[in-house]
Amino acid sequence: MHLAYDLLDGYRGLVLVDALPNRGAPGTLHVFEADHDLSSATGLDAHAMDPAAVFASLRALGGEPPYTVVIGCEVGCIEDGIGLSDAVAAAVPDAVHAVEDVVARLSARTAAREG
């Protein structure tokens, strides 16, 4: 819920790093633009705050989602536990590079709009 409130401050870009359902090989990274229209949620629900719920809550509060890029890693296991699977842990350096690349692109995009 805090993210929805924070986004009311008018950010121009958002990078979400998240786990994704395993639909391929665990540890596989995906980088994609978020589709803000996927949510059927209509209001505030602090107990179901996946990204779609965050964007729906933001709209319910009168805000608009910023341009959003998701960097997701396919999970190896969804059972309760602490720590990362070996496949996901091995993907962390590539995820860090993906975040750096996305932030650089967002910074360039913002500079181009302002300059």
Segment 85-99, tens digit of pLDDT: 999 999 999 999 999
**Residue 41 scores a pLDDT above 60:** no
Exposure class string for 95-104: b at 16+ Cβ within 10 A, else e = beebeeebee
Of 3.40.50.1450, 1.10.1060.10, 3.30.360.10, 3.40.50.150, the CATH number of 2-114 is 3.40.50.1450
Least Cα distance to 41 among 23, 20, 55 occurs for 55
For 100, list phi and psi in degrees, rounded to 5. -60, -45
Q: Which pTM was predicted?
A: 0.82
Report helix, strand or coil for 93: helix
Extents of the domains making up the chain: 2-114
